[in-house]
Structure 1
């Protein structure tokens, strides 16, 4: 029996969309964008989508339903989910929802190396992040309002709700840290850092 590929947001989304209906890869990509799933799943590289589909097919989680051609498009392979794919998708979903994972996003890693900058430089870069987060939050709130106006059920907007909540919390925190840096409410000394390092660094 083929070994099931490792779970990933993109692989789970492909299985979930094929659970909805059989699709060709372009149809999968279009639905990911049309349904706003590109907020949480990276499909900017079409090659990564095709590689994921190949892995799912090789593992027996999806199968070829038909290969067709029409006047507008070249030959397209339509895939459907298998019973094994349905079981795997449910298992992946259960684990992703219930078990917090240790992830390594860029922003916390950058925060851990902020000492490369002066306090003034830290405040400046965080101010720029505040502007970007505020713009992102506006976009998420607009997307939620549009979804409600269209009468979409809340279950289809949960990922946007989550992103709005996380973005709002991050915006509040980053804004407060930048303000503390500017007003002196957040400071440190070389002596403190040397003590943490165990001994002063020789000049």
Structure 2
């Protein structure tokens, strides 16, 4: 901290300030360190407190109990620093979680979109009757009995088509199996 003649109070005050600084800086620094557990940070807190004292203290009305004032100021400045750091950390943590969630959501949407495309391609590889049975079962939520009646085929044929469709889809989409389960849950198939 560089003091100039313009910032100096009256000469007697400058001498009093310098004496206070020399007398108390070391012990205040140790006190701040006991709270903050960071040597350089403690030095900054004490130096800032002395700067504020220099700028705002009413030297004409000094009552002599300045040592208690200095300790109280260092104590509050240290606690304010800790509180500010906790707020910053909490904000950074929330921001990091929100960004991670957004990234995860975006990645999940891309994977889900890819899965839906692969599912459509896999469905197109199925024979027409097999694909129709699967779509009636999974997209229109019809029961096997209803599909049998609607298509005019036996219940066993419906079961066989569904078995074939599911086997083919499992093979074609095996790399997406976890997402496949999520998609089925989303679509209400499971």
TM-score (norm 1): 0.23
- Higher share in helix: 2
Structure whose alpha-carbon radius of gyration is higher? 2
TM-score (norm 2): 0.24
